[in-house]
């Protein structure tokens, strides 16, 4: 059982292609962030001031140009830039949605492209017909002015996740973070950390098995594990959220049948098409334990811990013989 991502589940994997683009060779890195700006050249000036880098890694030494994708001069100077003008493949025109720097290959960007129209001009594809509509399905990205932040938040829609169960807006509680220092100037102590009540968390293993009881290895609900912590993605009326949820039975921390999210977990405003009575899918990106271990407690998996963590656990009186060197 493999995870999928929110964009592909919503629009279908036949509408997307993923391309690896060598930016140093064709200079397209100059337009990576500019592709998020449709009409205002002022935003491109901000890109220039922040420098030509993605994730803190410099992409070549070519300067940023001052034209955004809405400028005719940009189209005339760089007609083959796939970030600005898209790419044609298998009879369809694809436009750039979002991407990231390749994990191991320098100057290579892995980008997702969405099919907006056929190349013959007769659009028989179902809506949406623009990448802006695709982006705004996940969250209100029109309200995100920084192209750097916009791309970073868009990657949440391409995160591999397991859809587990839906939540109503009334089941989602948003609270403040715990901060230290004057006005939280020294840091946030609860950054990205929320809670989920155990009664909801018990449904997560069924989501990890794609919701099919037959895939739970013939286990009963009593033998299905309760996760300790899960990493989630959630797009709802309250916003686009990312972070970890600790499972608790304490109703003071989290009422039954609800989840508690911190404001630090909010990455963007909620999509305008989502109503308060619209159920929102809670998707799990990762679990503290091995997913198959949650589905069937009879399975055993070894966990690799760092030396520092092992020493910390030994100090807390965990027997040292429990740890095996690798």
* Whether the predicted pLDDT of 193 surpasses 50: yes
Task: Name the residue with higher pLDDT: 202 or 63.
Answer: 202
pLDDT band at 223 (very low <50, low <70, confident <90, very high): low
Other CB atoms within 10 Å distance of the CB of residue 313: 15
Rounded distance, CA 91 to CA 295, Å? 43
Question: What pLDDT does residue 302 have?
Answer: 56
pLDDT digits (tens, 9 = 90+) for 267-308: 999 999 998 889 999 999 888 766 665 655 545 555 567 777
Q: Measure the CA–CA gap between 98 and 118, rounded to whole angstroms.
A: 21
Model pLDDT, residue 175:
95
Backbone dihedral angles phi then psi of residue 56, each to the nearest 5 degrees: 80, 0
Which positions ≥6 away from 68 have C-beta within 8 Å?
34, 37, 38, 39, 40, 41, 43, 44, 74
Give yes or no for residue 253 having a pLDDT over 90. Answer: yes
Q: What is the pTM of this model?
A: 0.74
Given a contact cutoff of 8 angstroms between Cβ atoms, the answer to whether 115 and 92 are in contact is yes
Spatial contact of 77 and 28, defined as CB atoms under 8 Å apart: no
Query: What's the mean pLDDT when you consider all of the chain?
Result: 75
Return the pLDDT at 317: 87
pLDDT grade for 79, boundaries at 50, 70 and 90 = very low
Peptide bond into 245 cis (omega under 30): no
222 HSE (CA, 13 A, CB side): 0
Q: Which of 9-18, 139-148, 217-226, 234-243 has the lowest mean pLDDT?
A: 217-226
Tens of pLDDT, residue by residue over 39-69, are 334 444 444 444 333 333 333 333 333 333 4
């Amino acid at each position: 059982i493999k995870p999928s991502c929110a964009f592909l589940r919503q629009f279908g994997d036949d509408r997307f292609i993923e391309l690896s683009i060598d930016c140093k060779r064709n200079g397209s890195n100059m337009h990576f962030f500019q592709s998020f700006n449709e009409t205002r050249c002022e935003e491109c000036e901000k890109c220039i001031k922040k420098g030509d880098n993605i994730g803190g890694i410099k992409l070549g030494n070519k300067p940023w140009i001052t034209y955004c994708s809405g400028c005719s001069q940009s189209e005339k100077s760089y007609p083959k830039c796939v970030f600005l003008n898209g790419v044609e493949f298998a009879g369809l025109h694809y436009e750039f949605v979002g991407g990231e720097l390749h994990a191991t290959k320098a100057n290579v960007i892995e980008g997702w492209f969405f099919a907006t129209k056929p190349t013959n001009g007769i659009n028989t594809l179902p809506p949406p017909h623009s990448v802006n509509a695709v982006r705004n399905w996940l969250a209100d990205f029109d309200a995100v002015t920084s192209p750097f932040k916009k791309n970073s938040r868009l990657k949440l829609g391409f995160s591999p996740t397991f859809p587990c169960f839906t939540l109503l807006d009334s089941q989602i509680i948003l609270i403040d973070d715990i901060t230290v220092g004057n006005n939280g100037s020294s840091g946030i102590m609860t950054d990205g950390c929320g809670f989920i009540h155990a009664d909801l968390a018990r449904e997560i293993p069924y989501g990890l098995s794609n919701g099919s009881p037959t895939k739970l290895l013939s286990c009963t609900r009593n033998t299905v594990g309760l996760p300790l912590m899960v990493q989630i993605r959630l797009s709802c009326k309250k916003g686009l959220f990312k972070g970890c949820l600790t499972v608790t039975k304490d109703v003071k921390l989290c009422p039954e049948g609800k989840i508690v999210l911190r404001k630090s977990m909010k990455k963007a405003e909620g999509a305008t098409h989502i109503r308060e009575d619209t159920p929102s899918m809670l998707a799990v990106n990762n679990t503290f334990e091995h997913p198959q271990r949650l589905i069937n407690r009879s399975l055993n998996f070894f966990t690799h811990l760092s030396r520092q963590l092992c020493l910390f656990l030994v100090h807390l009186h965990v027997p040292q013989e429990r740890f095996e060197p690798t």
